[in-house]
A and B are shown apart, each in its own frame.
Chain A
């Protein structure tokens, strides 16, 4: 009797645990539309390493919308999104499962520039066209659509340095430590600082590309830091701005990342102080949609170079108002990508 009860409890516990353990990879992450092989049109799978922020959500929604339209138009036969939990190991096992399904196109937003090399080579060897986007993968068997992160870091730092008049104290708000994206941007900052000895990087905090995390980290650093003239931000511009406001500090030149909330804050800040000038740069989640069209066009015989540098969207005080208008508060400013534009910009 007692052992029966124990067994029942164990089963109940296992069910609950099983359900939650699967949660990151199936619901709400995995969505499948159409069935593979119901026509000659290609099947497409998106392997996304992480779904935990607004950028990734907007990216997945954008690809899904393009895929739905392409499905309706008969350009693809099926589309599926599989999200990982941010770990390369989980993404690798997911891609291994995808290879078994033999889709025609695999889009990858990679968790790591190196860890996925092997499994991507396997996918290519199995005849799948692999397009990696957002972050690079080092294997040259895949098509790479990724921004030049060092260049973006340099652009961020140069813009802030110019707007503070070439001298003063700056604070750095970094993204997720240890990622290629963050390391690249940081290298870009250092390159600019080397040429501007009058600019001091007086503090660095980790904001994890999250507004709330950045806000807490900046608030913490501000409690001991001297006056700050500018902030290099790799992610979390709005949180950074809020931290300065909450601390009652003068608002420095804060570099933006295209977030709707930041653009709105920036507009309000300019209304209060017309001399407030900064810039915002975002790689834009619509990069996923560009990758989608590259994948589909590859199956139709269009040729693309293996390495495609992705351009960023720059917002300045001059075009701020129209981008505030176009960007929802919880979204990110992005340029529209469609088939024609992808052909025009990237095709050989």
Chain B
């Protein structure tokens, strides 16, 4: 009797720990914790401010990574490599239409999101209808977007971001950056969508076993098209926020988001084969990628060797033995 009462909480703790360890996102969360402790130890800044500053940067990655996660979840090699180019295009469209005026922000943001939706639908069309492998189709679309961005960069006097957008992208409330709040809200919506809505569940079913889903009357086409469309819109949203953050459009603005968005998804624990997303992992993965960059910026590692350090940490994180998740 007495043994039972003492073991019960311990047992419950062990079970909770087990659940955490078995979850797909545990590695990313643990990795973030380790990196944060390491950075705090190395820095004269306090841990909380390091956390907030890096979360702010990670939020931009997280928003487009959630789109990437949904695409990857539909399985069959689905991936969106047009994200960095979609981001750049959105930055240019938003900047040019905004002309630094708050009154024009809704128009600029609306147009950017619409362009993003269109890009996503084109990706979806190529992959779903024309059956071009996603890795090729989305890269080809990306190159086209890149050319359009090059043309847009010749628009003279393209101006800056409106002050309202700058406040949203750079500012914070009660110490929490607005961009982080936006990323968290999107993540919550994405989680509800994936786990609770019919289209979301269909998206996962298609990714887990396209044939079984087909037998059950679920074609993969609609779900995949939807995922690409959402990814296009989220890349555009990332671009709009980056326009405010950088106060204008610059050619290299989207370039770091290809690797970052993919790595955030994979390190977060989303199955690259599809069918098993994790939104929490996606957020943690984005923060992890940002912290790695900060780590290599903080350590006095020679510039040329930094990519080796970053690549090494990513591989180490992925190679960590994972306990078999419950399915």
**Using a CB–CB distance below 8 Å, which chain A residues touch chain B?**
9, 12-13, 16-17, 20-21, 23, 27-28, 51-54, 57, 174, 177-178, 203-206, 208, 210-213, 215-217, 219-226, 239, 242, 245-247, 261, 328-330
Q: Are A242 and B247 in contact (CB under 8 A)?
A: yes
* A261 and B248 in contact, given A213-B256, A223-B294 (Cβ under 8 angstroms): yes
Q: Whose C-beta in chain B lies nearest to the C-beta of A208?
A: B252
Taking the nearest CB of chain B, how far is it from the CB of A36, in angstroms? 26
Once bound together, how far apart are the Cα atoms of A213 and B253, in whole Å? 6
Once bound together, how far apart are the Cα atoms of A129 and B249, in whole Å? 38
6 A-B residue pairings within 8 Å (CB atoms) = A13-B130, A13-B132, A16-B140, A213-B256, A215-B245, A224-B298
Q: Are A17 and B298 in contact (CB under 8 A)?
A: no
* A28 and B147 in contact, given A52-B251, A53-B251, A213-B255 (Cβ under 8 angstroms): yes
Q: Are A212 and B252 in contact (CB under 8 A)?
A: yes
> Which of A21, A210, A219 is B250 in contact with, Cβ under 8 Å?
A210
- In the complex, B303 has a CB within 8 A of chain A: yes
Once bound together, how far apart are the Cα atoms of A330 and B246, in whole Å? 13
Once bound together, how far apart are the Cα atoms of A216 and B59, in whole Å? 12
Which residues of A lie under 8 Å from residue B271 when comparing CB positions? Answer: none
Once bound together, how far apart are the Cα atoms of A96 and B43, in whole Å? 52
Which residues of B lie under 8 Å from residue A330 when comparing CB positions? Answer: 156-158, 248
Q: Are B53 and A222 in contact (CB under 8 A)?
A: yes
- In the complex, B5 has a CB within 8 A of chain A: no
Which residues of B lie under 8 Å from residue A54 when comparing CB positions? Answer: 153, 250-251
Taking the nearest CB of chain A, how far is it from the CB of B298, in angstroms? 5
Q: Are B42 and A213 in contact (CB under 8 A)?
A: no
Which residues of A lie under 8 Å from residue B144 when comparing CB positions? Answer: 20, 23
- In the complex, B297 has a CB within 8 A of chain A: yes
Taking the nearest CB of chain A, how far is it from the CB of B55, in angstroms? 10
Once bound together, how far apart are the Cα atoms of A64 and B53, in whole Å? 44
- In the complex, B300 has a CB within 8 A of chain A: yes
Given A212-B252, A212-B253, A224-B50; 18 other pairs, CB 8 A cutoff = A9-B131, A17-B140, A23-B146, A205-B297, A212-B242, A216-B256, A219-B57, A220-B53, A220-B290, A221-B294, A221-B297, A224-B298, A226-B45, A242-B245, A242-B246, A246-B245, A330-B158, A330-B248
Which residues of A lie under 8 Å from residue B44 when comparing CB positions? Answer: 226
Once bound together, how far apart are the Cα atoms of A177 and B304, in whole Å? 7
Q: Whose C-beta in chain B lies nearest to the C-beta of A182?
A: B303
Q: Are B246 and A178 in contact (CB under 8 A)?
A: no
Q: Are A28 and B251 in contact (CB under 8 A)?
A: no
Q: Are B50 and A28 in contact (CB under 8 A)?
A: no
Which residues of B lie under 8 Å from residue A28 when comparing CB positions? Answer: 147, 150-151
Q: B39, B146, B246: which has the most chain A beta carbons within 10 Å?
A: B246
Taking the nearest CB of chain B, how far is it from the CB of A155, in angstroms? 21
- In the complex, B160 has a CB within 8 A of chain A: yes
- In the complex, B163 has a CB within 8 A of chain A: no
Q: Which residues 116-141 of B sit at the A interface, judged by CB distance below 8 A?
A: 126, 130-132, 136-137, 140
Which residues of B lie under 8 Å from residue A20 when comparing CB positions? Answer: 140, 143-144, 147
> Which of B39, B154, B160, B252 is A329 in contact with, Cβ under 8 Å?
B160
